[in-house]
Amino acid sequence: MSVVLIIEDNPANLELMHYLLDAFGHEVRSATDGMTGLTLIQHDPPAVIVCDIQIPHLDGLALARRLKADPALRHIPLIAVTAQAMVGDRERILEVGFDGYIPKPINPECFVQQVEAFLGQDSDR
């Protein structure tokens, strides 16, 4: 069983992602803001992180920069789940340090598979 951390401030989105990952046997932890998420990551690193971009206290882009600058944490796959889908957003998000990008609204039929694709991978950016 893999530990997945979801950092999402929208209760409906958080509930859906949590439900789907839990149903497929993953241990799911969650945070509703970037600072809480960062604290959870530093104290008990998950196997993968699913993170919204527009979250309070430390947005997803700033969180990505901090994680990828930390040699002890940079290997953890970081997946953006965001409604930012304008031309260039995906590239900008990946350039900051995210390893993957899933647009919102998520597709419940393939969301877990999209997240599981990052399990067991080391991303040394």
Domains detected in the chain: 3-116 (3.40.50.2300)
Tell me the average pLDDT across 42-62.
97
Residue 120, phi-psi category: left (phi > 0), alpha (psi -120 to 50), beta (remainder): left
Question: Does the pLDDT value for residue 123 go beyond 50?
Answer: no
The pLDDT of residue 125: 34
- Residues 3 and 74: their CA atoms lie apart, in Å, by 16
- Average pLDDT for 92-115: 96
Residue 70 DSSP one-character state? -
| Beta-bridge partner residues of 101 | 80
Mean pLDDT of 74-86: 92
Quote the CA–CA distance of 51 and 70 in Å, as a whole number.
17
Let me know: does 15 contact 6? Beta carbons within 8 Å.
no
